[in-house]
Amino acid sequence: MGLPMSQNLKAAGFNVKAYDLSPEARALANEGGIPTVESVAALCADVEYVVTALPETRHIETTLMSEGGIFESAAAGTLICDVSTIAPEGARRFHAEAKKEGMVYLDTPMSGGVTGARNGTLTFMVGGSAEEFEASKMVLQGMGKNFFHCGEPGTGEIAKLTNNLILGISMVAASEGMAIGEKLGIDPVILQKILAVSTARNWCIDTYNPRPGILENVPAANNYEGGFAVGLIKKDMVLALEAAHGVKAETDMLEKSLKYYLDLEKAGQGKKDFGYVFQYIMKNKNI
């Protein structure tokens, strides 16, 4: 998602440079018109904004706080928009640490998937002060269409985790319904058309259907490649589970749905798009 987001920022008039640990990702960025640098320190030189998009809380911590990291390398006044999905507690801690360095760190997780990144229609959920939220919109508007001030630091991540726990459950439900309908004998194409305009309608049905042969330009039409990985939805649901347990919230549906993704990851399918759960269910959970 980082490449189309960077391209949209460039198209919006920003002077963009990028860094990724992967040489392959850097080469792809260069091919896509985004110049790359060889380190976080080089990335932070002479910039007003830094946008981070990394898998886990520990990766953000390393990027911010290690030798040559953002806090050491960026100038005072730099605004850091972290679009990653991480632990709310981590976001609160990073916000406080950034202030000590004269910088602003905001949790600004995104929703909209690869399609939203390409089309510049992402939704951003922002945790921080009202003033910080308004400042973040300067750069976020180059990548998205919807912006929500969720409250104090960490609340952007709370919004994202609740969104993704619902998304993970919804994909299991959509996959189960599509699989049962097909096994009972209805044409899955007709079933999807009905569900897409009925009370069961949701994003996993009408926009990102997991059954191959239903929609074009979705991972299910591409052998479940190039989407939102099983390993990532699992990671987000685990974060949501941990946060929920911290406030003694009930998590029955979350836990039941999470098991599907845990099983898929154990079976070596962690890099497949999370819609692959349809195949797991269709084959009676025998991958």
| Domain coordinates in residue numbering, the chain | 2-151, 158-282
pLDDT value at residue 257? 98
Q: What is the 3-state secondary structure (H, E, C) of 4-41?
A: HHHHHHHHCCCCCCECCCCHHHHHHHHHCCCCECCCHH
pLDDT value at residue 76? 97
What's the CATH architecture for 2-151? 3-Layer(aba) Sandwich (3.40)
> Quick check: do 2-151 and 158-282 share a fold?
no
In degrees and rounded to multiples of 5, residue 146 shows phi and psi of -120, 135
Low-confidence spans in the chain with pLDDT less than 70: 286-287
Query: Which of the residues 17, 160, 234, 235 is marked catalytic?
Result: 160
Residue type, 179: A
Tell me which DSSP letter residue 129 carries: -
160 is catalytic: yes
pLDDT value at residue 286? 63
CATH superfamily of 158-282: N-(1-d-carboxylethyl)-l-norvaline Dehydrogenase; domain 2 (1.10.1040.10)
pLDDT value at residue 150? 98
By the 8 A CB rule, do 168 and 202 touch? Answer: no
Residue type, 283: K
**Distance separating alpha carbons of residues 6 and 142, to the nearest angstrom:** 9
Within the chain, how many helices (H) and strands (E) appear?
14, 6
By the 8 A CB rule, do 37 and 50 touch? Answer: no
Instruction: Tell me the whole-structure pTM to 2 decimals.
Output: 0.93
By the 8 A CB rule, do 43 and 64 touch? Answer: no
Half-sphere exposure of 41 (CA within 13 A, CB side): 5
Helix (H) or strand (E) segment spanning residue 236 = helix 230-246
Strands 79-82, 49-52: pairing is: parallel
CA distances from 88 to 94, 106, 109, 211, 233 (A): 10, 11, 11, 33, 16
What 3-state class would DSSP assign to 82?
A: strand
